[in-house]
Structures are given as C-alpha cells and as structure tokens.
Amino acid sequence: MNKLMASLFLMAIALSASLLTAGYIYWDSLENLEKSESKHKQLLLEFAALSSQYSSLQTLYDALTSDYDGLNRTFLALNSTYFELSASFTTLNLQHFSLEESYSKLSENFTELETRSAELETQSVSLNQSFNELVDNYDVLNQSYSTLQIQYNQLNTLYSELQANYATLNTTYNTLYEEHQSLEKLLNEPLDDVVIPAWDEVKEWLASDKTDEIPYDSEKFLCGDFSVMLMQHAKAMNWRMLFTIIEFDYYSENPLGIESHHGNHGHAFVSVFTTEGIVYIEPQSDYTWYVYHEGNPYTHVEFDDWVFIDFEDDWFGHIFVQYYNRMGTYIHPEGVATQELRVSSNS
C-alpha cells in the first residue's frame, strides 16, 4: 500500500512538472505564434488531455488516499491483533511443549496400563471363574439362609411367647414367693400384733374367703381340716381364731342329759373374739353365731358342758352338749344341765 501511494505521489509530481513545462511552452509558443500556430494548437490539445488526466488522477488520488487511511487503520488494528496473537502463540507454544511432555508421560503410562490390562484380563478370567463358583455357593447358602430364616422366625416367635410366659411365670413366682413367705410366717410364727375385728367385718371377710368352697371328704378333708385352714387364713388378717370342738347328742337321743362317753357325735369349728364378744364360725358354710343366757341376749357367752342348745333350723338343730373345749382344758361338771343356752346368728 505504501508503494502504491508513493507511485501515485510521483505521478502527481511528474504531472505537475509536465503542466509547468507545458505552460512554459505555451507562453513560448505565444511569442512564436507566428512561427508555429499548428504547434500551438497541438500543445493546447495536449494540455487539455493532460488536464483531463490530471483531474482523473486527482480523483483517483483522493480515492486512494481515503483507501489508504482505511487500510492504515485496518493495518494498525491487525498489527495489534498480530502482537496479541504472537503472545498467545508463544503461550500456546509453551503449552504445546508441556502437553508434549505430558503426552509422552501418558503414552508411557498407557503402555504400562496396556501391560497391566493384559495382566488384569488374565486375572479377570480367573476371578470370573471364582465369581461363578461363589454365585453357585451363594445360591446354596441363600437357600440355607432362607430355611434358617424361617426357623429363626419360628424360634423368635417361640422365644417371644416363652419370654411372655416367663414374664408371667416370673410375676406369678414373685407373687407366690411373697405369699409363701407370708404363709411360712403364718405357719411357723405367732402373731406379732393381734387385731380384734368387728363381727360384720368377719362376715364380710368370710364372703371372700374360699375355704367353704372346698368339698367335704370323709377320708381326706374333714371338719378339723376346714377349721385349721380357716384359722391359718385368719392369721393373715392378724386375727386370732381358736380351734373349737364339741361332743354332743341330739336331744332325741339324750333328752335327760345322761352321761355318755363325751356324746355320740363330735364336731370341730372355730371361734374368734370380736368387738361384740366371742363369735363361733362354721368353716364349711361360713355360718356364724353366738350364744347367750336366757334373759341376757346381748352378752356373748361360750358354750358350756352339759347344756341343751337349740339352733332351731340352723346348724345341728336341738342338741345336748356333753363336752366343749376351745382352750384344750377339759372340765367335767357334775350333775345334769338345768338351763338351756340360746343362739343368735346375727343374720
């Protein structure tokens, strides 16, 4: 582009010089107009042609100058880009060398990996065989596991049931152990503190006691057994019940109270001292009563020997007591009873 501009500039200078020369010649021709009129006309034509060429060249020059300015700006921009690209090229070149080194190392590693891959391929075949064997073993073990899981679930269910049963039995054992300790104390130790209950309290307690629900068995469980059991149960209430026996005849058998060997019939029951006085209890039926002397119905008295007692429709009816004992002391009075005792059941 610089050469083109220089050429145009030289052409302009040459054109200017030509015009000056032409002018000089023109003026010289005027002086010699007489000598060369034809020459003058020729020069005029050449001058016109040169003027036309000058105008054309001037227009071309202006266009070229404008193009030059645009191209120069483009050149400067391209030159700046060139320097930037040159710097980038230098950086990329350095990166290229670094990448080449990395590539060489990776190539070496790749070769090693190929070798290792071949080894791993061999191992893979062996491992695949081992895996297949393990799969077969797993199937066998899985079947065994499923069977064992079923057995485990069954055993776990059984264990839970046994655990629940154990808890129940343990609670029952503890309860029974406590009851055993209490019963052992009741059976083997005297009462520490005797409590005297009210008669109604005794009746309420008898309603919940189960002694009367035991069936009578003439060979295994007699009146004395009922009495001893109820006495032991009463100890749990800190009540002191006493073993009581009578030997008697029915009135029809001995209307005059004639002495026999302690009567033809015998019976065991219990007695307890209440806040109202002594009360007698039939353990087989929970029937309770007290006896009193004629004319004094509110004073509880004990049975006596050689007396008639009328229970009316309760218990044994009308009987003659020949022998009575609640303390283990036997006293046999002389003579025949002359006064009957009365009975009240407080029902």
Q: Is the pLDDT of residue 13 over 90?
A: no
Within 13 A of 266's CA, how many CA atoms are on the CB side? 11
d(Cα 240, Cα 190) in Å, to the nearest integer? 10
What pairs with residue 217 in β-bridges?
221
- Which pair of structure tokens corresponds to residue 266? 């015998």
- Give 221's DSSP letter: B
Q: What is the pLDDT of residue 33?
A: 60
10-38 average pLDDT score: 66
- For residue 225, give the 3-state DSSP assignment: helix
pLDDT per position as a tens digit, 236-261: 899 999 999 999 999 888 888 887 77
Listing DSSP states for 195-216 in one string gives ----HHHHHHHHHH--GGGSPP
What is the architecture of the domain spanning 199-344?
2-Layer Sandwich (3.30)
pLDDT score, position 222: 95
How would you classify the pairing of strands 318-325 and 241-250?
antiparallel
pTM for the full predicted model: 0.49
Question: Would you state the pLDDT for residue 217?
Answer: 94
Q: What average pLDDT does the structure give for the chain? A: 84
Per-residue pLDDT at 168: 93
Q: What is the mean pLDDT of residues 36-63?
A: 83
Lowest-confidence segment of 179-188, 190-199, 231-240 by average pLDDT: 179-188
Read off the amino acid at residue 14.
A
Cα–Cα distances (Å) from 109 to 55, 105, 106, 115, 187, in that order, read: 76, 6, 5, 10, 96
Mean pLDDT confidence for 76-94:
88
95 pLDDT more than 70: yes
What's the mean pLDDT in 34-63?
Answer: 82
pLDDT score for 103: 87
- Model confidence band, residue 171 (pLDDT cutoffs 50, 70, 90): very high
Question: What ranges make up the beta strands (E) of the chain?
Answer: 241-250, 265-274, 277-282, 287-293, 307-310, 318-325, 341-344
User: Which of the residue ranges 12-26, 44-58, 329-343 would you say has the lowest mean pLDDT?
Assistant: 329-343
Looking at residue 329, its pLDDT comes to 44
Answer whether residue 206 shows pLDDT above 80.
Answer: yes
pLDDT of 333 higher than 50: no
168-207 burial, b if ≥16 CB within 10 A, otherwise e?
eeeeeeeeeeeeeeeeeebeeeeeeeeeebebeebbebbe
Instruction: Locate the domains of the chain by residue range.
Output: 1-149, 199-344
Q: What is the DSSP letter of 237?
A: T
CA angle, 239 as apex, 235 and 241 as ends, to 5°?
85
> Considering only CA atoms, which of 243, 292, 296, 295 is closest in space to residue 272?
243
Res 208 pLDDT > 90: yes
> What is the rounded CA–CA span in Å between residue 301 and residue 326?
13
